[in-house]
Structure 1
């Protein structure tokens, strides 16, 4: 299973989420024992590759995560077709993605909406599936039915060109969401 995070420029939010998720999968030993979960990221803006924001690199480094080699990837239809689960940080990013690839409708979610679904299903009892990847698919399949019971999901603020305080707040939100998601399927 491939999880893909999508933000605007692929240098802040999606990078935080990609590298933090990879690190947590490795820490939990989930990656290899879970139907081979892989993680990547992309951005809806189409401009030449560039590195992650220095603030992102610094915040990840403080958690022992090296993102120095990151180079942004523009979102394409082929990339979205390869992903099994796509998590965006703003509704506009979902719209942009679906404009490119309407068939992705069943696998694209607002990050915090998917986190809310993971939290809800985990609280209800064991999630069906033999592996973490199976359980992620089960959650994806259930989101449309659960939506009336979930809180309205908020978008994740774009920290690009903002203060360190904003970057720290956004990173904390992403870490919390990833921890809930992985805790639900571990």
Structure 2
């Protein structure tokens, strides 16, 4: 399975998620192909020093440099996990045909059934509205109202941004990410993806 993490500059949260997931999956004997990118990233910028230190502390020596989000990466990924709802909306706006495989990380690992049902409806509405927008169609006001109502009901799924912060803030963000990644791997282990390789 191919998983793509998305944040803003691809120097803090998404490379930490990439490095951690690669190691955690390997430790569980799972075959995942993991990359990361940023919606406002430059090509080849080094990870922030604190993010790299957090990974080193976990025995992860990956040399991850920033990559701008591209159509090629969106096409490559089986699953796109953003670090915030804002990133998710951005990716869907630019790549509406991929809406059905774009989630926030925390949203994807949600296991409350009522929330999951609301999420399904929300995703369907977002995909329909973005497709209409891309095709230049007039947006349906009833669907927009329902979308706003569902968004108000959703839990907060953003992972805190440590950019410019202290090492302690990076540690807290890394713990938040790692917890979600453990849930992600638990979820993937229950599916057919365990040994799907990189096909």
Query: TM-score, structure 1 length as denominator?
Result: 0.77
In the aligned structure 1, how far is the partner of 2:121 from the partner of 2:88?
A: 19
* CA distance 1:168–1:46, change in 2 (3 Å): closer
* CA distance 1:76–1:105, change in 2 (3 Å): same
Query: Which residue number in structure 2 is paired with residue 7 of structure 1?
Result: 7
1:155-181 alpha-carbon deviations (Å, 9 max, x no partner): 111111111121111000000110111
SS of the aligned residue for 2:35 comes to strand
**Unaligned segments of structure 2, at least 5 residues:** 124-149, 190-199
Query: Which residue number in structure 2 is paired with residue 50 of structure 1?
Result: 45
**Unaligned segments of structure 1, at least 5 residues:** 32-36, 122-139
Query: Which residue number in structure 2 is paired with residue 81 of structure 1?
Result: 75
1:15-57 alpha-carbon deviations (Å, 9 max, x no partner): 11111000011111111xxxxx211100001423201111111
Query: Which residue number in structure 2 is paired with residue 160 of structure 1?
Result: 163
Comparing 41-50 and 101-110, the one that deviates more: 41-50
User: Do the aligned residues in 2 keep the contact of 1:157 with 1:170 (CA within 8 Å)?
Assistant: yes
SS of the aligned residue for 1:29 comes to coil
Measured after TM superposition, the shift of residue 145 of structure 1 is: 6.3
Measured after TM superposition, the shift of residue 100 of structure 1 is: 1.9
In the aligned structure 1, how far is the partner of 2:44 from the partner of 2:166?
A: 23
Measured after TM superposition, the shift of residue 78 of structure 1 is: 1.7
Query: TM-score, structure 2 length as denominator?
Result: 0.72
User: Do the aligned residues in 1 keep the contact of 2:8 with 2:41 (CA within 8 Å)?
Assistant: no
Query: Which residue number in structure 1 is paired with residue 120 of structure 2?
Result: 144
Residue-pair matches, total: 159
- After superposition, the CA RMSD in angstroms is 2.4
Query: Which residue number in structure 2 is paired with residue 129 of structure 1?
Result: none
Kindly name which structure, 1 or 2, has the bigger radius of gyration based on alpha carbons: 2
